[in-house]
Amino acid sequence: MTPEKVAVSQHIEDDSIPSHDSLDLPNSSEAQAAIVKEREMTLWQALKLYPKAVAWSLLFSCAIIMEGYDVVLTGSFLAFPAFNEKYGRIMSDGTYGLEARWQAGLNNAMACGQIIGLFLNGLVSERFGYRKTLMACLVATIGFVFILFFAPNIQTLVVGELFMGIPLGVYQTLVVTYACEVCPVALRAYITTYVNLCWVLGQLLASGVLKGLAGRTDQWAYRIPFALQWIWPVPIFIGVFLAPESPWWLVRQDRREDAVKSVKRLTRAHGDFNAEETVSMIVYTDALERRAESGTSYLDCFKNSDLRRTEISCCAWAAQSLCGAGLMGYSTVFYQRAGLATSQSFTMSLVQYALGVVGTFASWTAMSYCGRRTLYVGGLCLLTIVLFIIGFISIAPSTTAISWATGSMLLVYTFIYDSSVGPVCFALVSEIPSSRLRTKTVVLARNVYNILNLVTGIIIPYMLNVNAWNWRGKSGFFWGALCVCCLTWSFFRLPEPKGRSYAELDLLFERGVKTREFKSARTGLEDGPGEGKAVIVQA
């Protein structure tokens, strides 16, 4: 199709969008028609039209199960007798355990690897595509499991977790970016928050495996959980090999025809759907962003309107770490201190992660009515209350009942977190960035989260370790105060992206629309060609 010169004209009104310079677009009327159709598409219509896109997104997201699984292994092994006897020493209370410095080292080694993997993903996936990058990481995962499985000492185990973190870091951003690029607006929130569900499913799977092996006293008690990580990269690799590439990535590579073929593979022939029209929308959005951005480097994430988008993405993900989520992985420890046997403690962990699954499903319903902002801000408010309750409970003398109460409040915390802040964050960080800088912005945001996790991974073991600070439940005051800070930021700075196409979000951010006005502001793209305040006119 021959490119045509188009320009955006506008009525001079307070709520009108800024004028744009001439843009080289293949067909602006096709682009606007596609934007309107996508905006008006219902959830059921989107499912009927994009069943293949949903299936491929769900497959890609399954890679996150491995991250959730491995995270729980490293945290829960601290309450695993066979593991502590192999890699730990006798503590002051007469039991085997790891010193706080090795607990911190084990947790932070993975976080360091994830930071490396995330920055690599921002460079590699934009050059080679999402499919090839993910397949390479799946192969690397299989190789790095060998280090964990055969680790003779704690030092080797830490190195293994460092290397294992590299592909896990790639999974964290690549799968959510792919999901938000292959699905329409009506499905975007559900598919991206499904990533959080996969993360919780990995935790649930790990807890089930550990519970089943808690009675073993030999080396297989901790080696079998590591070995199970060899299983799922193979079927995921096969599926990714057969999957279509993101049409947005193909457009950024100037491969329009391939993008059309990709859209056809992601959709099912239905009604008046036109793949060419959809790709025109992608090209139009890309052209708007090319006008507003000077490049696609990490530095460009901090220029012009993208600075605000980067801030929102980074802070939204930072809140996941600062709101005290790290405490959820230590509920097993509280139940053991309450007098439960190891097997029973892991049963309670299974209940906790099952609540996480239920919470994620609940978030899908809540987002349909409340939107992202309301659910995120409301979730932080409730988490703050729960954390301060945990803190006040711990003021009483330490008893079995206090440990029970603390562990139970962590169950409540888990449900609230996984029905609000946890899943909604994935939707926000995938929607807020511009499409040309999406991968790099998500990488920066996730690395802010990982760097903060390095800090929390150091201080939480010291807070709970009997030979260190031994704060136990009093740590709720510390995390509650940080949660108040996150709540304050989100109230004043977090906009509502629900129902907005990427082109609309680009215009809202370029115009500098205030946070409170995002939900109601008009862009002129809502009504189709020639009907809104921003009219696309062929030159």
Ranges of each domain in the chain: 28-290, 298-520
- Dist. CA 235–CA 535, nearest whole Å: 48
Q: What is the pLDDT of residues 281-314, one digit of tens each?
A: 999 888 877 776 557 788 999 988 899 999 999 9
In this structure, what are the phi and psi dihedrals at residue 474, rounded to the nearest 5 degrees? -65, -20
* Cβ–Cβ < 8 Å for 343, 211: yes
Q: Residue 9 pairs with which residues in a beta bridge?
A: 535
- Dist. CA 76–CA 95, nearest whole Å: 16
Question: Which of 32, 57, 54, 58 lies closest to 43 in space, CA to CA?
Answer: 54
Q: What is the pLDDT of residues 198-239, one digit of tens each?
A: 988 888 888 788 878 877 778 888 889 899 999 889 999 999
**pTM for the predicted model, two decimal places:** 0.81
Q: What is the dihedral of CA 524, 426, 191, 31, to 10 degrees?
A: 20
- Dist. CA 320–CA 433, nearest whole Å: 18
Query: Average pLDDT for residues 45-52, to the nearest whole number?
Result: 92
**Per-residue CA distances from 448 to 12, 118, 126, 329, 444 (Å):** 40, 11, 20, 20, 6
- Fold of the domain spanning 28-290: Growth Hormone; Chain: A; (1.20.1250)
Share of the chain above pLDDT 90, in %: 39
28-290 and 298-520 share one fold: yes
Query: Average pLDDT for residues 248-255, to the nearest whole number?
Result: 93
Number of CB atoms found within 10 A of residue 397's CB: 7
- Dist. CA 389–CA 404, nearest whole Å: 13
- Per-residue pLDDT band at 93 (split at 50, 70, 90): low
Exposed/middle/buried for residue 521 (C-beta within 10 Å: 0-12, 13-18, 19+): middle
Position 8 pLDDT exceeds 70: no
Q: What is the pLDDT of residues 326-374, one digit of tens each?
A: 888 677 676 766 666 766 777 777 888 888 889 999 999 888 888 899 9
Q: Which CATH architecture has domain 298-520?
A: Up-down Bundle (1.20)
